[in-house]
């Protein structure tokens, strides 16, 4: 009689690696102002995030490989957990960047946060309607960044738990079937 593998011995691989090292939430920050880039970088580092800074929406798209040019780093290698972008930028605005990201099948799941120095309600509404995770008024507060990070961690944790639960159910199902078949 073959040994029945009990569910808890099944090798459940941990592919939601973002939880394995929680301090390495990788944030892509987009802002044309060098002062603001320096500032947001510090906020994110203090919040234990890994930061990539770019100075335009175009460069952000290049980094993500969405600018139509082939040969960029694969999505899995980039593993961006959050995009924070300024709204008013020369060339492509943060809003246009948001739209492009939400149109992309590879990146639409990444939360995008818009930052702006102007408290314009229609602008905020438009961004949220387009799928922005949040809209922050500049200057951004450390509390805002920490709140974002915490809610992303929770979402990750929930997703991870859901996956684990699902696998547990599947494993239990297999176990029951094997038992019934008296193998």
Partner 1 sequence: MNTVVAQLQRQFQDYIVSLYQQGFLDNQFTELRNLQDEGTPDFVSEVVSLFFDDCAKLINNMSRSLEQPENVDFKQVDSGVHQLKGSSSSVGARRVKNVCISFKECCDVHNREGCLRCLQQVDYEYKMLKTKLEDLFKLEQRILQAGGTIPQVDIK
| Residues that bind partner 1 in the complex, under the rule CB under 8 A | 33-36, 38-39, 42-43, 46, 88, 90, 117, 138-139, 141-142
Query: Nearest approach, Cβ of 54 to partner 1 (angstroms)?
Result: 17
Q: Please say which residue, 19 or 142, places its beta carbon nearer to partner 1.
A: 142
Residues 6+ apart with CB under 8 A from 82: 25, 26, 27, 28, 49, 110, 111, 112, 113, 133, 148, 152
Q: Which is nearer to partner 1, 43 or 84 (CB)?
A: 43
Identity of the residue, 16 or 88, whose beta carbon is nearer to partner 1 in the bound complex: 88
Q: Closest approach of Cβ 118 to partner 1, in Å?
A: 9
- The minimum distance between CB 55 and partner 1, in angstroms, equals 13
Contact 130, 103 (CB under 8 A): no
Nearer to partner 1, 57 or 110 (CB): 57
Q: How far is the CB of 10 from partner 1 (least distance, A)?
A: 44
The sheet carrying 134-137 orders its strands as: 49-54, 25-30, 82-86, 112-116, 134-137
Shortest Å distance, C-beta 91 to partner 1: 12
Residue count of the chain, please give it.
183
| Residue 39: CB atoms within 10 Å | 16
- Phi then psi for residue 112, to 5 deg, are -120, 125
How far is Cα 46 from Cα 112, in angstroms, rounded to an integer? 20
Q: Please, which residue, 18 or 56, has the CB nearer to partner 1?
A: 56
């Amino acid at each position: 009689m073959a040994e029945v593998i009990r569910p808890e011995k099944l090798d459940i691989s941990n592919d939601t690696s973002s939880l394995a090292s929680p301090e390495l939430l990788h944030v892509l920050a987009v802002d044309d102002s060098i002062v603001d880039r320096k500032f947001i970088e510090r906020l994110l580092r203090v919040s234990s995030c890994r930061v990539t800074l770019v100075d335009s929406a175009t460069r952000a798209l290049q980094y993500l490989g969405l600018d139509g040019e082939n040969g960029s780093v694969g999505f899995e290698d980039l593993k961006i957990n959050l995009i924070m972008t300024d709204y008013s930028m020369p060339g492509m605005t943060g809003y246009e960047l948001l739209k492009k990201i939400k149109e992309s099948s590879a990146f639409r799941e990444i939360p995008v946060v818009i930052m702006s120095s102007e408290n314009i309600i229609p602008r905020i509404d438009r961004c949220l309607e387009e799928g922005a995770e949040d809209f922050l008024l500049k200057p951004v507060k450390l509390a805002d960044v920490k709140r974002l990070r915490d809610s992303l961690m929770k979402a990750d944790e929930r997703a991870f738990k859901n996956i684990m639960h699902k696998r547990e159910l599947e494993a239990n199902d297999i176990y029951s079937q094997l038992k019934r078949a008296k193998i």
